[in-house]
Amino acid sequence: MTSRPEKAFVFAAGLGTRMRPLTLTLPKPLVQVGGKTMLDHMLDRLAEGGVTKAIVNAHWLADQIEAATAKRRAPSIKISDERALLLDQAGGIIKVLPEFEGKPFFICNTDALWIDSSSSQVARLRDHWDGDKMDVLLLLANRAESFGVEGRGDFDMDASGALSRPAPGEEAPYTYAGVGVIKSALFENRAVEPLRLAPFFFDAAARGKLHGLVLQGRWLHVGTTDMIERADAAFASRSEEPTCPPAYST
């Protein structure tokens, strides 16, 4: 039986340039949508899905990220300090790779939100994970049913759940929803330096080891300031039960 993910790496170090001028003084993960920060939305989803520990990287306005996570009790939080050098997603993972003890772990963007879901999508990813046939498992959003989707889509998916990239000029029905599971082994023996994550996905796809799980619910990609108001309206009219407040300690 393969190991199941218990910890997560949350990407919170980016500059948020597409949300300027708002993000000149506020880190993008701390932008509020639907009554709480996008970072708290993601951390609450992880706690709901049984994640015990989240490593949150911080670079831009890192003091605010540290302060915002200091009082949370679930999941437990460790800040990965990237003030000196922004490492990009894969580089940030490599910096803290020993934290995952060789086991698979969740990867999470903070600008990816969802509504109208009757079950934990993080738990669904955990339960769907099969390390014997997967190196990476991505939560996917149906483009036609999502907010804030740009471009021609990221992936096609076959009957087994294996993902492939669309041919040049073609559109794909699914886009990466910003949450996934990935093997620690993919990052072993790598130098700590700025390094993108997408090539790891594409390499896994070429080997038949990239799989997908379609989100149950509506995906909201809040990547620009104009999406904040639209996302607020979507949360206000959602059909799911109101989201629980962040899990803070007293």
DSSP track, 226-249: HHHHHHHHHHHT-SSPPPPPP-B-
Query: 10 Å Cβ neighbour count for 21?
Result: 8
CB 234 within 8 Å of CB 227: no
Q: What per-residue confidence (pLDDT) applies to 125? A: 97
- How far is it, in rounded angstroms, from Cα 86 to Cα 105? 21
Q: What per-residue confidence (pLDDT) applies to 239? A: 46
- How far is it, in rounded angstroms, from Cα 192 to Cα 125? 28
CB 88 within 8 Å of CB 195: yes
Q: What per-residue confidence (pLDDT) applies to 244? A: 45
Q: Checking DSSP bridges between strand 53-58 and strand 112-115, what pairing results, if any?
A: unpaired
How many percent of the chain have pLDDT more than 70?
94
Q: What per-residue confidence (pLDDT) applies to 118? A: 83
116 forms beta bridges with none
Mean pLDDT (the chain, rounded): 91
- How far is it, in rounded angstroms, from Cα 186 to Cα 207? 13
Q: How confident is the model at residue 227 (pLDDT cuts 50, 70, 90)?
A: confident
9-23, 154-168, 184-198, 218-232: segment of lowest average pLDDT: 218-232
Q: What value does the mean pLDDT take over residues 214-237?
A: 89
- How far is it, in rounded angstroms, from Cα 228 to Cα 19? 10
Q: What value does the mean pLDDT take over residues 99-114?
A: 95
Q: What is the pLDDT of residues 111-163, one digit of tens each?
A: 989 998 889 999 999 999 999 999 999 999 998 888 777 778 889 999 999 99
Q: How confident is the model at residue 247 (pLDDT cuts 50, 70, 90)?
A: low
Provide φ and ψ at 105, rounded to 5°.
Answer: -150, 160
Q: Which domains does the chain have, with CATH numbers?
A: 7-236 (3.90.550.10)
> Is the predicted pLDDT of residue 248 greater than 60, yes or no?
no
pTM above 0.85, yes or no: yes
Q: What value does the mean pLDDT take over residues 49-65?
A: 97
CB-count burial class (<10 Å; 0-12, 13-18, 19+) for 208: middle
